[in-house]
Amino acid sequence: MGMIVSFISAPTIHFWWTDKSGPAKIDDPWIDAGKVKDLPKDQWGNKMLLFQRQDRWASFEREELIYIYRSAQDITVFSAVCPHAACLIRKNDEGFGCPCHKSSFSNDGIVLSGPSPRSLDRLNTKVQNGRLYVKYEKFRPGTDTKEVVG
């Protein structure tokens, strides 16, 4: 009986098991975040990235929040997604804080307190023709390694 049931359900379980949305396969992962000189200098700012992503058959408008710091030498960009449980972090006086489980991070993204298993996720950036481009990626929450999942 058990054998028969498992054989009958095997194709379904196989399909659900293997059909997963992974990191988006796209030609150009760099998303335009505007002119570099429009970014506030030597202070934190935030920006909503708007872009299109494909997920299986569907194409979605996505809006993702990032935090940006521009100094004379380089630009730091953090994803606003908390590495603990994927809530959105907020800027505060000492750095960043997550409202869901009270993780707090320094301005360098390092965990100061709370349950977050890793530092804030820093995103890759490049500057081209005076514009900032961000490679927006989602990482698996709740683990101490940065695994790209979307």
| Binding string, residues 53-72; x marks residues near other proteins by CB under 8 A | --xxxx-x--xxx-------
Q: Say which residue the tokens 């429009």 belong to.
A: 38
Alpha-carbon gap, residue 111 to 116, rounded angstroms:
7
Residue closer to other proteins, measured from CB, 64 or 121: 64
Q: Does 144 bind other proteins (CB under 8 A)?
A: no
By CB under 8 A, how many residues form the interface with other proteins? 33
**Minimum Å distance from CB 107 to other proteins?**
19
Please state the separation of Cα 39 from the chain's center in Å. Answer: 20
Q: Does 20 bind other proteins (CB under 8 A)?
A: yes
**Minimum Å distance from CB 47 to other proteins?**
12
Alpha-carbon gap, residue 113 to 104, rounded angstroms:
5
Q: Does 146 bind other proteins (CB under 8 A)?
A: no
**Minimum Å distance from CB 125 to other proteins?**
21
Please state the separation of Cα 143 from the chain's center in Å. Answer: 14
Q: Does 142 bind other proteins (CB under 8 A)?
A: yes
Q: Does 88 bind other proteins (CB under 8 A)?
A: yes
Residue 15 CB-density burial (10 A; 0-12 exposed, 13-18 middle, 19+ buried): exposed
* CB atoms near residue 122 (< 10 Å): 13
Q: Which helix (H) or strand (E) holds 46?
A: strand 44-55
Residues that bind other proteins (CB under 8 A): 16-17, 19-22, 48, 55-58, 60, 63-65, 80, 85-86, 88, 90, 99-102, 115, 138, 140-143, 147, 149-150
